[in-house]
């Protein structure tokens, strides 16, 4: 099956610093990747849709200046949490679908645990 990686798997940072999370599709190309956020014992909440070569589409209530998304290539999307605060602590997951077309299964990265002190 298709493999998606995320780096780092977990990060602890001080309040006010920025953190970059990478999402890579290892064995397929993806024009679209998705970023989700998951709080403990809750479902996944879509944050944004990352489009290769264009601006990301953010969900309502998600601050695009705080959560910067860059989809630089067909295999890499990055999420940067700028000026992180404790309330940004969460589990961030990316997903991607092979480029072939609609309806393809989305494959998920292993997630990144972010703790802001």
Partner 1 sequence: AQTVTQSQPEMSVQEAETVTLSCTYDTSESDYYLFWYKQPPSRQMILVIRQEAYKQQNATENRFSVNFQKAAKSFSLKISDSQLGDAAMYFCAYGGGNTPLVFGKGTRLSVIA
Q: With binding defined as CB under 8 A, does residue 54 bind partner 1? A: no
Strands in the chain per DSSP E: 4-7, 10-13, 19-25, 32-38, 44-51, 57-58, 67-73, 76-81, 90-96, 107-108, 112-116
Query: Considering the complex, what minimum distance in angstroms separates the CB of residue 7 from partner 1?
Result: 14
CA–CA dist 49, 79 (Å, integer) = 11
Decide whether 17 or 26 has the Cβ nearer to partner 1. 26
Residue closer to partner 1, measured from CB, 14 or 53: 53
Instruction: Indicate whether 31 belongs to the interface with partner 1 (CB under 8 A).
Output: yes
- According to CB under 8 A, which one of 15, 18, 29, 42 is a site residue for partner 1? 42
Classify residue 71 as exposed, middle or buried by CB count within 10 Å of its CB (0-12, 13-18, 19+).
buried
* Nearest-approach distance from CB 16 to partner 1, in angstroms: 27
- Stretch of 14-22, 60-68, 82-90, 94-102 contacting partner 1, by CB under 8 A: 94-102
């Amino acid at each position: 099956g298709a493999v998606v990686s995320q780096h780092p798997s977990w990060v602890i940072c001080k309040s006010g610093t920025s953190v970059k999370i990478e999402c890579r599709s290892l064995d397929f190309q993806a024009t679209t990747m998705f970023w989700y956020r998951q709080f403990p014992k809750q479902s996944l909440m879509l944050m944004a849709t990352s489009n290769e070569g264009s601006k990301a589409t953010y969900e309502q209530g998600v601050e695009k200046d705080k959560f910067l998304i860059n989809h630089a290539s067909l295999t890499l999307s990055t999420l940067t949490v700028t000026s992180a605060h404790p309330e940004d602590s969460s589990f961030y997951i990316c997903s991607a679908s092979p480029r072939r077309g609609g309806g393809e299964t989305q494959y998920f990265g292993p997630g990144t645990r972010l703790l802001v002190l």
